[in-house]
Structure 1
Amino acid sequence: MFTQARNQLNTIRDLLRFAVSRFNQAGLFFGHGSATAYDEAVYLILHTLHLPLDQLDSFLDARLTNDELLQIEHILTRRIVEKKPAAYLMHQAWLGDYSFYVDERVIIPRSFIAELLQAQLEPWIHDPDNIHSALDLCTGSGCLAIIMADVFEQAEIDATDIALDALDVAKKNVMDYHLQKRVHLIESDMFTGLTGKRYDLIVSNPPYVNAESMAALPAEYRHEPSNALASGIDGLDATRHILSNAADYLTESGLLIVEIGHNRDALLAAFPRIPFTWLETSAGDAFVFLLSRNQLAADNRKSGK
């Protein structure tokens, strides 16, 4: 698809226009860091050329060498033919100002909890130095655990996942941020490996895609581990487990924060007695909830746990 046009693609501007046209023609799906064909093409081209991602205008009319053109052609062709997300092609994903290594052993980070953490969970946490222990449940690449360690400087962080492959990726990211002494990676099926532990803060971006949505996922999502996405018929299997057990792992004033995708209505119908606090994110207040230990314990007593 690029071979016939290669002699006419001389600058980054030329290649960017051509890439956007081909991405749109191929019907690619963008939901792993880029919102449009243009944004994704810019990222892939600049990253491949080892150029600053925020300085496109300075290089738009730069002429490409034959070798550079072939490298970019290879990446763009893979994006179109394989439908593989750019994050996997580049082995890089961003959450705000944080960059993480990713490959197909982990879900690509895209959590609203990250932006809440970067604001140190104000106003729900009044003094960040009072967070001494925190848990990232279902850590995947380790991204939320690393951000927690950065913003809560007095905290020891546990990060758990059921998948050893995911923990291998998390280990690389923890080492890249030099946090081996404060972020502890634990193989655990939800809370099973955490007997006796208590945390001032538990955050989780667990699997939450329902069966109907799983069946309709675009090809790009098929590259991600299905066990990091699927969570039963209604998407709430993992969240139910968290709500039933988290109180036992929180300190007296501990907080639980969970991301649930587009399942707010289903969650409220399933747990009408729980007084969820919905946190405001860049996409609205329907995706992340907060509960205190006391609220969780009260509901568990009502449920006869």
Structure 2
Amino acid sequence: MLDQQTQLCAELSSVRDFIRYGASEFNRAGLYFGHGTDNAWDEAVQLVCAAISLTGFDNPAILEARLTHSEKLAVLDYFVRRIEKRMPAAYITRHARFCGLDFYVDERVLVPRSPIAELIEQNFAPWLLDAPEYILDLCTGSGCIGIACAYQFPDAQVALSDISADALAVAERNVAEHDLSYRVKTVQSDLFAGLAGQCFDLIVSNPPYVDEEDLAAMPAEFQAEPEIGLGSGADGLAFTRRLLSEVPNYLNDGGLLVVEVGNSAAALVEAFPDLPFTWVEFERGGHGVFVLTREQLVAG
């Protein structure tokens, strides 16, 4: 490996060289892209920029800039980790973007990628009629959904809830880095167990929803993520069933529930034929997100 690195450091010089090399190696290795990028070139750009402390290419001339020897080694180390360990790039760089915001991430949480970001940017229109005062991000992980909601609704109090103490440590770091501790709080809770007596105008959740069959067939990159954030029983609905049975008690009148269930959407409709799920259509891609009002939940 050292001999190979020495040779590559001699042959590759510019930012463009390393991006091109990385993209080719990623394609040869058959990597899966789905944790922030969807192709080898963008993945290589992300890793090269992080390794040499660039935020982007505002000036195209940067592509021809020559790397120092230490920068070359840093880039190659990132490439090796991405290929040999099948580690999502966000875990290597310790950074992800969601709703145009920067978040710290590591192996304790899922990599942010929910299409719910599009709903947040649109103020959950047309379903949320008034700006919410109290918001709950259930199964918060990194805290990205709740923190993004805090930016979108600057007068709201936001609770970030998760069963995992490890995940909440990451969420708390992100709350502090966004300077939102005065109105965004974390709570360790199995569903609503730690939220007794509280009610919310908006509950948003990206819970575990992958069924056993899909979980076993997922690409290696997903195996690097915490299984507790992915798998949810034989049909992917173990958590969502509990959520739907308890959530009316934690929503204020006129409150809205937004939940991502991904590929388990069909199983959910079959399991709850009397609930009038509204399935969101996204301009930027994504599926399996439903909205329900408190009144619809109670009636169903």
* 1:264 correspondence with 2:265: yes
Instruction: For residue 7 of structure 2, give the secondary structure of its aligned residue in structure 1.
Output: coil
Aligned AA (1:203): V
Instruction: Output the CA distance in 2 between the equivalents of 1:89 and 1:27.
Output: 18
Aligned AA (2:175): V
Aligned to 1:100: 103
Instruction: Output the CA distance in 1 between the equivalents of 2:39 and 2:229.
Output: 24
Aligned to 1:58: 61
- Give RMSD over aligned pairs: 1.4
Aligned to 1:91: 94
Report the TM-score when normalising by structure 1: 0.94
**Alignment match of 1:49 (pick from 27, 33, 52):** 52
Residues 279, 285 of structure 1: 8 Å contact kept? no
Aligned to 1:223: 224
Aligned to 1:145: 146
Report the TM-score when normalising by structure 2: 0.95
Residue range with higher mean Cα deviation, 245-254 or 44-53: 44-53
- Where structure 2 has 5 or more consecutive residues not aligned to the other structure, the ranges are none
Aligned to 2:171: 170
Residues 210, 230 of structure 1: 8 Å contact kept? yes
* 1:113 correspondence with 2:116: yes
Change (3 A) 1:202 1:15: same
Instruction: Output the CA distance in 1 between the equivalents of 2:38 and 2:58.
Output: 19
Instruction: For residue 203 of structure 1, give the secondary structure of its aligned residue in structure 2.
Output: strand
1:76 to partner: Cα distance = 1.0
Residues 47, 53 of structure 1: 8 Å contact kept? no
* 1:10 correspondence with 2:19: no
Aligned to 2:283: 282
Instruction: For residue 4 of structure 1, give the secondary structure of its aligned residue in structure 2.
Output: helix
Instruction: For residue 263 of structure 1, give the secondary structure of its aligned residue in structure 2.
Output: helix
Aligned to 1:194: 195
Instruction: For residue 136 of structure 2, give the secondary structure of its aligned residue in structure 1.
Output: strand
Residue range with higher mean Cα deviation, 276-285 or 288-297: 276-285
1:54 to partner: Cα distance = 4.3
1:215 to partner: Cα distance = 0.6
Aligned to 2:135: 134
1:87 to partner: Cα distance = 0.2
Aligned to 1:67: 70
Aligned length in residues: 297
Per-residue deviation, residues 118-165 of structure 1 (Å, max 9, x unmatched): 11111222332xx11111111111111101111112211111100101
Instruction: Output the CA distance in 1 between the equivalents of 2:56 and 2:127.
Output: 34
Change (3 A) 1:285 1:169: closer
1:277 to partner: Cα distance = 1.0
Instruction: Output the CA distance in 1 between the equivalents of 2:221 and 2:50.
Output: 20
Instruction: Output the CA distance in 2 between the equivalents of 1:266 and 1:254.
Output: 25
Per-residue deviation, residues 184-209 of structure 1 (Å, max 9, x unmatched): 10010011111111111100000011
Instruction: Output the CA distance in 2 between the equivalents of 1:159 and 1:52.
Output: 28
Aligned to 1:297: 298
Instruction: Output the CA distance in 1 between the equivalents of 2:107 and 2:90.
Output: 9
Instruction: For residue 122 of structure 1, give the secondary structure of its aligned residue in structure 2.
Output: coil
Change (3 A) 1:97 1:285: closer
Aligned AA (1:196): G
Residues 140, 167 of structure 1: 8 Å contact kept? yes
Residues 132, 200 of structure 1: 8 Å contact kept? yes
Aligned to 1:303: none
Instruction: Output the CA distance in 1 between the equivalents of 2:199 and 2:222.
Output: 34
Change (3 A) 1:276 1:41: same
